[in-house]
Amino acid sequence: MKRTFRIVPAIALAVAVMGGVAEAQTIKIGVNEPLTGAFAASGTYVVNGAKIAADEINAKGGILGKKLELVIEDNKSNPTEAAAVAEKLITSDKVPVLMGAWGSSLTLAVMPKLMEYEVPMVVETSSSGKITTTGNPFIFRISPPSAIEAAAFKGIVDKLELKKVDFLVINNDWGRGTAEDFSKMMKEKGITVGSIETMDQGAQDMSAQLSKLKGTDSETIIVTTAVDQLTLIFKQAAALGLKKRIITTGGSQNPDQIIAQAGAAANGTMHLTTFLPWFPDKTPNPEATNYFIAEWKKRGYDFAGCTESFRGYDGIRTAAAAIEKAGKAEPAAIKAALWEINIKGLNGDIVFKKSGPAGKESGQSQPNVYLIEIVDGKIGMKTL
Amino acid sequence: MSQFLQHLINMLVLGGTYALLGIGLTLIFGIMNVVNFTHGVLYTFGAYIMFIVVHQLGVNFFLALPLAVVAGWLLGAAIELTLLRPLRGSDIDTTMLVMIGAWIAMQSGALWIWGGVAKSVTTPFPEAPLVLGPVSVSWLRLFVLAAAAMLIVVTYLLINKTKLGGAMRATFQDRDTASLMGVNVDLIYTSTFAIGSSLAAAAGALLGPVYVIFPQMGDLAAVKAFAIVILGGLGNITGAVIGGFILALAEELGAGYVSSGYRDAMGFLIIIAVLIFKPTGLFARSERVG
């Protein structure tokens, strides 16, 4: 009887220790994405892409002999929530590295938390220039800032014979940043910039803005926003009889979804994207692209989401490569290792170069940018 | 000039649905003295019913609309019977808190059932718009305007020409006296809430196919509905209709000629002005309750 009493606490202790060991057997990456709200579709695609990367890594034995675990949280497309989610992931889940937060305003809201807790974050989608120029050494961005997009677009403006352009952009850091960077490039090229119209991120009716743009003497409209608002814009532009050329930026267009939902209204539109799932052979890394697309289809996801989800896939592979290189799952080591990695992303090599004020540079990779055109409901590639 | 005409056409189409949203809310406030925070969720509910009926059950678009209205009516009646009836006689703050709780619970429920990714409903209307000289408008939006106008007229006749409407107006003027005159006040409350809810669901069912459908779509709609009700005077149906068109006009002209960034702010600037200079609303009656 006495013996039993001695054994019980011993077993309890053993269970507790083993439980503790089991918990430390995974390496966590915090994923901070919009799964509800205005950017729900995009954020969900990115998370699904991230899961493919995690499963692929785990199937090959994980990292540092441990399983990779994604801790996924919804930032509700809301900057306040994005900051709260980052804090929760860092302090409660103890993740040593984050990926997020899709939108520029969301990422900008998270950035002070990274400074506070000294945890690095791989930025997979955001394109506002501010993210890598304000001096946050915990930021490592794999998506192109709008200035890179504008520079890539510069080569083709003569061929498109642009004379005067208007802008219709989402009223946040992403949209306003894009309007600024593209206006600058246009002016250098001698193209007149007309009116710059904005729309709220949750707005569903852009008829008023489009009616105004219909009346201007510009021949082209540059539109920057995510896919849900884009399809509404194409439908509403068609309903208003707006027949100007529309070029979208930002890489969150999901062109197949636009074709499916906007129909004929999508014809003749052009889109600056950062991935070519339609032409795997033209991507920098065809083998990986084919694997990713096959896996995406196998899981029954909508093909339209590929242009968005590849970023989640690349983002997780970037973070995992850094953990591997660091040799331990600790924020400072991962941050140092991020500067040294060189992995083959689906949209070019992911190598971080210094960006921003000296001494506290952020990392910026140099991804490719492509221009595609929708003709007769099909996607064609334009040479930049 | 053609831009101005286009803004006016947009205003008519938008105003019709704003009016529909406004009258449902003002009716409930005027008669029951309940601030209905579930109004936006009922709007969302109507839109999802359209999606389910058209895409998952494969029913005709035009048949789906009345089904959404009926579903809204039933949900409204259920809310009234389970949440508001037990609270009758309690102060307005308690009711308000319960309604805010119901709003959050129902919105989370929608998120749980349908997920956060937006859905869209296909309609039988042609993609090509109706072109009238310099202006054009989509057939779907014209249909929405016509349907909204019809619903507003039906509601007006129901309130002003039927026995139920008479009882509702009597309850609105003086609940105790109406009760003494043999009006079944419980029945009037349930009917009022169900009618107001079905109007919100109708607005959602009409606008869901125009835009996209997602769980939080009702939030902005509800804020606008509150704005319209304040503009038109609490409990005033004619005021809500006119308020709906004024808000739509302010948004269209504000976005078109002032700044599109402040489009959604325009309506609220008007409301602030109304609250300062005519706090009972533009069309308030002097014997207004609440």
Mean pLDDT value across residues B79-88: 92
List of chain B residues whose C-beta atoms are within 8 Å of the C-beta of residue A44: 115-117
What number of residues does chain A have? 384
Q: What is the pLDDT of residue A168?
A: 95
What is the ipTM for the molecules in this complex? 0.82
CA A58, CA B71: separation in Å to the nearest integer? 47
Interchain contact A272–B (C-beta under 8 A): no
The predicted structure's pLDDT at residue A14: 53
pLDDT band at B174 (very low <50, low <70, confident <90, very high): confident
Region B112-130: mean pLDDT is 86
Q: Which of A234, A197, A229, A231 is nearest to A216 (CA)?
A: A197
Question: How far is it, in rounded angstroms, from Cα A193 to Cα B268?
Answer: 31
pLDDT > 70 fraction of chain B, expressed in percent and rounded = 98
Mean pLDDT across chain A: 90
> Which member of A36, A212, A239 has the closest CB to residue B137?
A239
Q: Do B264 and A200 touch (CB under 8 A)?
A: yes
Q: Is residue A222 predicted with pLDDT exceeding 80?
A: yes
A121: pLDDT strictly greater than 80: yes
How many inter-chain contacts (A to B, CB under 8 Å) are there? 95
The DSSP secondary-structure symbol of B35 reads -
Alpha-carbon gap, residue B102 to B87, rounded angstroms: 14
Region B123-138: mean pLDDT is 86
Mean pLDDT of A182-207: 91
Cis peptide before A101 (omega within 30 of 0): yes
Kindly state the DSSP code that residue A356 receives in the 8-state scheme.
S
Check: CB of residue B149 under 8 Å from CB of residue B16.
yes
Q: Cα separations (Å) of A146 from A130, A132, A167, A272?
A: 10, 11, 14, 11
Task: Provide the H-helix boundaries in B117-262.
Answer: 139-161, 163-173, 175-180, 185-207, 217-232, 237-253
Question: What's the whole-number average pLDDT of chain B?
Answer: 89
pLDDT at A163 over 60: yes
* Contacts for A353-359: CB closer than 8 Å, 24+ residues apart: A355/A132, A355/A133, A356/A132, A356/A133, A356/A134, A356/A135, A356/A136, A357/A133, A357/A134, A357/A135, A359/A135
Is residue B171 pLDDT above 50, yes or no? yes
Give contacts of A239 with chain B, Cβ < 8 Å. 129, 136-138, 141
Supply the pLDDT for residue A215: 87
Per this entry, what is the length of chain B?
Answer: 290
Contact A211 B127 (CB under 8 A): no
Asked whether residue A384 carries a pLDDT value surpassing 80, the answer given is no
Reported as a single tens digit per residue, the pLDDT across A13-55 is 555 555 444 456 899 999 999 998 888 889 999 999 999 999 9
pLDDT of B289 over the 60 cut: no
Picking from B272, B264, B215, the residue whose alpha carbon sits closest to that of residue B40 is B215
Interchain CB contact of A239 with B (< 8 Å)? yes
The kind and range of the H/E element at B270 are helix B263-277
- Quick one: pLDDT at residue B102? 94
Cβ neighbours around A280 below 10 Å, total: 18
Please tell me if residue B7 touches chain A, with a CB cutoff of 8 Å: yes
**In whole angstroms, what is the distance from residue B251 CA to residue A200 CA?**
13
Query: What span, in angstroms and rounded, lies between the C-alpha atoms of B149 and B167?
Result: 24
CA–CA separation, A63 vs A68, rounded Å?
7
pLDDT for residue B10: 87
Cα–Cα distances in angstroms (integers) from residue A214 to residues A4, A200, B21, in the given order: 85, 19, 29
**Contact across the interface for B3 and A211, Cβ inside 8 Å:** yes
Name the band, by pLDDT with cuts 50, 70 and 90, for residue B290. Answer: very low
Only one residue has tokens 């702010």, namely B265
- CA gap B122, B58 in Å, rounded: 11
pLDDT beyond 80 at A236: yes
Mean per-residue pLDDT for B157-161? 91
Confidence of residue B13 (pLDDT cuts 50, 70, 90): confident
pLDDT in tens, A247-275: 999 888 889 888 887 778 888 899 999 89
CA atoms of A341 and A250, how far apart (whole Å): 25
Distance CA A379, CA A301 (A): 19
Residues from chain B contacting residue A265 (CB–CB below 8 Å) = 127
Phi, psi for residue A271 in degrees, rounded to 5: -140, 130
- Which one-letter amino acid corresponds to residue A126? S
Which A residues 41-100 touch B at CB under 8 Å? Answer: 41, 44, 74
pLDDT at A21: 45
For A76-102, give one letter per residue: b (16+ CB within 10 A) or e. bbbbebbbbbbebbbeeeebbbbbbbb
CB contact under 8 A, A208 and B251: yes
Judged by CB atoms closer than 8 Å, whether chains meet at A240 and B6 is answered as yes
pLDDT band at A286 (very low <50, low <70, confident <90, very high): very high
With a CB cutoff of 8 Å and minimum separation 6, the contacts of B54 are B60, B61, B64, B121, B122
What predicted TM-score, i.e. pTM, was given to this entire model? 0.84
Hey, is the C-beta of B212 within 8 angstroms of any chain A C-beta? Answer: yes
Per-residue pLDDT, B288: 46
Give residue for tokens 């494969």.
Answer: B58
Whether A56 shows a pLDDT value over 60: the answer reads yes
Q: Report, as an integer, the average pLDDT of A193-218.
A: 90
Cβ distance B137 to A232 less than 8 Å, yes or no, reads no
Q: What is the pLDDT of residue A101?
A: 93
Could you tell me which residue, B263 or A350, shows the higher pLDDT? Answer: A350
- Residue A12 is predicted with a pLDDT of 54
- The tens digit of pLDDT for each residue in B270-283 reads 888 888 888 887 87
Closest CA to B290 of B1, B23, B14, B29: B29
User: In Å, how far is A170's CA from the nearest CA of chain B?
Assistant: 9
Q: Which whole number is the average pLDDT over B263-271?
A: 81
* Minimum Cα–Cα distance from A170: chain B residue: B261
Is B184:B192 a contact under the CB 8 Å cutoff?
A: no
Q: What is the pLDDT of residue A243?
A: 86
Give SS3 for A243: coil
Query: Looking at A11-25, A186-200, A202-216, B8-22, which range is the least confident one?
Result: A11-25
CA terminus-to-terminus distance, chain A: 82
Q: Per residue in B207-245, pLDDT tens?
A: 999 988 989 889 888 989 998 998 888 888 899 999 999
- Is A171 in CB contact (< 8 Å) with chain B? yes
